[in-house]
Amino acid sequence: MIEHDQHPSSILTFKSAYDFDTTIARLKAALEGVNAVVFADVDQREAAALVGLELRPTRLIMFGNPKAGTPVMVANPHAALELPLRLVVWEDDEGRVHVDYRDVSQTLGPLYAIEPELLVPLQRVPELLQATVH
Tell me the pLDDT band of 1, cut-offs 50, 70 and 90.
Answer: very low
Mean pLDDT of 104-113: 93
pLDDT in the model for residue 2: 45
Written as one letter, the residue type at 34 is V
pLDDT in the model for residue 6: 77
What is the rounded distance in angstroms from the CA atom of residue 53 to the CA atom of residue 48?
A: 5
Tell me the pLDDT band of 7, cut-offs 50, 70 and 90.
Answer: confident
Mean pLDDT of 81-94: 96
Q: Taking 90 as the threshold, does the pLDDT of residue 4 lie above it? A: no
Element (H, E) at 119: helix 116-123
Residue spans of the domains in the chain: they are 11-133
Q: Taking 50 as the threshold, does the pLDDT of residue 17 lie above it? A: yes
Element (H, E) at 28: helix 20-33
pTM: 0.92
pLDDT in the model for residue 16: 98
Q: Taking 50 as the threshold, does the pLDDT of residue 67 lie above it? A: yes
Element (H, E) at 73: helix 66-75
Angle at 19 between CA 53 and CA 85, to 5 degrees: 70
Mean pLDDT of 97-104: 96
Residues 112, 116, 117, 123, Cα dihedral to 10°: 90
What is the rounded distance in angstroms from the CA atom of residue 79 to the CA atom of residue 56?
A: 31
| Fold category of 11-133 in CATH | TATA-Binding Protein (3.30.310)
